[in-house]
């Protein structure tokens, strides 16, 4: 009789990252977080004359001095999102190309024109895994910031506390801090 051979399902290969689609999706996700922060600034009656991030430092200060756990969670997410700001700036001004190495492996190359003769902004070679990871992080951060801002804006008690100067941001009387 014939012997049964073990069969394993091969994982389908991930689709190739299309460079301009990837860049557009990453920048869109960063913009989602920026738009939510701008809406939050407006809801807190903070100025946004120079763009949605013009009061970002003040918002972070108020969140940091607020005892509500949801405020602390938003602050942590904004801090992670802010840590990628130089990368967002570089991607927003990059020329994008797809290149292949001698083994045929695809890379996305981002090139930048120098701002002046002393600018040493490096070109960056992205593997497809790095592209997917950056898109994942940007999507998580953008969506999370937007969701957390929306949830905070629906809580009158938190908004009242956040509109106070940061040094006196305390929970309203007879109210326990939000836990989730």
Q: Tell me the two tokens of residue 93.
A: 């001004």
Largest CA distance in the chain: 83
Q: Tell which residue, 172, 155, 162, 171, has the closest CA to residue 67.
A: 171
Give pTM, 2 decimals.
Answer: 0.77
Least trusted range by pLDDT, from 10-24, 98-112, 145-159:
10-24
| Residues 172/176/177/180 CA torsion (nearest 10 deg) | -140
* CA–CA dist 146, 78 (Å, integer): 10
What is the separation of C-alpha 54 from the centre of its chain, rounded to a whole number of angstroms? 17
pLDDT of residue 8: 65
Summarize pLDDT for 34-47 with one digit per residue, the tens. Answer: 999 999 999 998 88
Summarize pLDDT for 74-103 with one digit per residue, the tens. Answer: 999 999 999 998 888 889 888 899 999 999
Q: Tell which residue, 124, 89, 88, 87, has the closest CA to residue 107.
A: 124
pLDDT at 49 over 70: yes
């Amino acid at each position: 009789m014939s012997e049964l051979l073990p069969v394993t399902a091969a994982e389908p290969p991930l689709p190739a990252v299309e460079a301009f689609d990837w860049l557009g999706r990453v920048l869109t996700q960063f913009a989602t977080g920026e738009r939510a922060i701008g809406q939050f600034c407006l809801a807190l009656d903070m100025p946004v004359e120079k763009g949605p991030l013009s009061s970002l430092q003040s918002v972070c200060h108020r969140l940091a001095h607020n005892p509500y756990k949801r405020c602390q969670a938003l602050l942590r997410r904004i801090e992670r999102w802010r840590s990628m700001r130089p990368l967002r700036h570089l991607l927003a001004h990059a020329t994008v190309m797809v290149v292949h190495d001698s083994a045929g492996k695809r890379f996305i190359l981002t090139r930048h024109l120098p701002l002046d003769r002393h600018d040493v902004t490096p070109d960056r070679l992205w593997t497809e895994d790095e592209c997917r990871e950056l898109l994942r992080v940007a999507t998580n951060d953008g969506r999370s910031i937007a969701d957390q801002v929306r949830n905070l804006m629906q809580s009158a008690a938190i908004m009242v506390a956040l509109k106070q100067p940061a040094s006196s941001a305390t929970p309203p009387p007879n109210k326990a801090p939000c836990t989730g």
